[in-house]
Structure 1
Amino acid sequence: MKYLRQLLMILIFSFIGEVLHAVIPIQMPASIYGLVLLFIALMTGLVKLPQVHEAARFLIEIMPLMFIPAGVGLIDSWGELRPILLPVIVLLLVSTVLVMGVSGQVTQQMMHHGKKEDKNE
Structure 2
Amino acid sequence: MPTLIGLCLIILFQLLGEALVHVTGLPLPGPVAGMILLLLALLLKRGLDHTLAPAATALLRYLPLLFVPAAVGVINHASLVQENGLVLLISILTSTLVTLWASAAVMNRWLKRKEGGNHE
Q: CA 1:38–1:20 in 2, change beyond 3 Å: closer, same or farther? A: same
Deviation (angstroms), 1:47 = 8.8
TM-score by length of 2: 0.86
Gaps of 5+ in 1: none
1:98-113 paired onto structure 2 within 5 Å: 98-113=98-113
Match of 1:12 in 2: 12
CA-to-aligned-CA distance 1:21-64 (integer Å, 9 cap, x gap): 22223322222211111112122239961121110112122212
For residues 101 and 47 of structure 1, the distance between their equivalents in structure 2, rounded to whole angstroms, comes to 26
Deviation (angstroms), 1:86 = 0.7
Gaps of 5+ in 2: none
Contact 1:41 1:47 (8 Å CA) reproduced: no
- How many equivalent residue pairs? 117
Structure showing the higher helix proportion among its residues: 1
For residues 50 and 112 of structure 1, the distance between their equivalents in structure 2, rounded to whole angstroms, comes to 29
For residues 14 and 86 of structure 2, the distance between their equivalents in structure 1, rounded to whole angstroms, comes to 35
Moved over 6 A (4+): none
Fraction of identical pairs, as percent: 27
Match of 1:45 in 2: 45
Output the amino acid matched with 1:42: L
